[in-house]
C-alpha cells in the first residue's frame, strides 16, 4: 500500500516543471513564427537618400503628419476630379450614397462640362434603388450606366469615368 502511494506521488509533475515546459514551447513557437514571417515577407528595403530628404522637406510646419501625396488627377493629365456626390437612394430613401468620380477627357478638360456631368450623376443617383447596386454585378451595371450617361452628355469628349470611392450608408 505504501509503495503505491509513493508511486503515484512520483508520477505527478511539479508545477515548476510544467510552467518551464510551457515557457520553452512558447519561446520556440514565437521564434518559429518570427522566422517564417521574415522568410515570407522580408523587411522593406531602405528608401534612397533623395526620397528621405524629399519626405523630410514636405513635413515642414506639420509635426506628426505625413507629407501630402500629390494628386494624379490634374488638368495637365486630362483628368478632372469631381466634387464628392452625396445623395439619397430612391428606395429605401433612408439610405445614402457617397461617391467620388474622376473624368478622363480627350485633350483639354472642360470644367463647365465636368460640372454638368457632376449634376447629371447626382440626379441619376437619386433614381437608383439599393437593389440595383447590390453586389459586384450591380456595381458593374451602375458603372456602365454612368459611363453611358457621360458619353451622351459629353458627346464622346470624356473617355473614362473612374470611381475613386463608393459608399452606401
Reported as a single tens digit per residue, the pLDDT across 68-88 is 555 555 666 788 889 999 999
In this structure, the answer to whether residues 81 and 59 fall within a common structural domain is no
In this predicted structure, which of 10-14, 27-31, 112-116, 139-143 has the lowest mean pLDDT? 10-14
pTM of the model: 0.56
Query: Would you place residue 2 in the very low, low, confident or very high pLDDT band (cuts 50, 70, 90)?
Result: low
CB atoms under 10 Å from CB of 152, counted, come to: 10
Total structural domains within the chain: 2
In this structure, the answer to whether residues 111 and 164 fall within a common structural domain is yes
Mark out the alpha helices in 12-134 (DSSP H runs): 15-40, 49-57, 111-125, 130-133
In this structure, the answer to whether residues 86 and 117 fall within a common structural domain is yes
Reported as a single tens digit per residue, the pLDDT across 136-157 is 999 999 999 999 999 999 998 9
CB atoms under 10 Å from CB of 166, counted, come to: 15
Indicate whether 3 belongs to any domain: no
**Could you tell me the three cell numbers for 160?**
473614362
Query: Which is higher by pLDDT, 140 or 66?
Result: 140
Looking at residue 109, its pLDDT comes to 87
In this structure, the answer to whether residues 60 and 86 fall within a common structural domain is no
Three-class SS of residue 73?
Answer: coil
Indicate whether 121 belongs to any domain: yes
Indicate whether 115 belongs to any domain: yes
CATH label of the domain that carries residue 123: 3.30.479.30
Nearest to 101 by CA among 12, 2, 167: 167
Reported as a single tens digit per residue, the pLDDT across 88-136 is 999 888 999 999 999 999 888 888 999 999 999 999 999 999 999 999 9
Indicate whether 4 belongs to any domain: no
Provide CB contacts within 8 A for 165, sequence distance 6+. 84, 98, 99, 100
Structural domain of residue 155, as residue ranges? 75-168
Nearest to 103 by CA among 139, 166, 141, 156: 156
Amino acid at each position: 500500500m505504501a509503495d503505491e502511494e509513493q508511486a503515484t506521488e512520483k508520477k505527478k509533475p511539479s508545477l515548476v516543471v510544467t510552467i518551464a515546459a510551457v515557457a520553452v514551447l512558447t519561446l520556440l513557437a514565437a521564434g518559429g513564427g518570427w522566422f517564417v514571417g521574415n522568410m515570407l515577407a522580408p523587411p522593406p528595403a531602405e528608401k534612397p537618400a533623395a526620397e528621405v530628404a524629399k519626405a523630410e522637406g514636405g513635413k515642414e510646419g506639420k509635426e506628426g503628419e505625413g507629407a501630402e501625396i500629390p494628386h494624379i488627377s490634374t488638368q495637365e493629365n486630362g483628368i478632372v476630379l469631381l466634387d464628392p456626390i452625396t445623395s439619397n437612394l430612391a428606395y429605401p430613401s433612408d439610405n445614402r450614397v457617397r461617391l467620388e468620380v474622376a473624368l478622363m477627357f480627350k485633350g483639354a478638360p472642360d470644367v463647365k462640362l465636368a460640372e454638368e456631368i457632376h449634376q447629371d450623376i447626382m440626379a441619376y443617383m437619386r433614381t437608383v434603388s439599393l437593389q440595383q447596386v447590390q453586389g459586384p454585378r450591380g456595381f458593374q451595371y451602375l458603372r456602365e450606366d454612368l459611363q453611358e450617361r457621360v458619353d451622351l452628355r459629353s458627346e464622346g469628349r470624356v473617355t473614362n469615368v473612374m470611381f475613386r470611392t463608393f459608399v452606401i450608408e
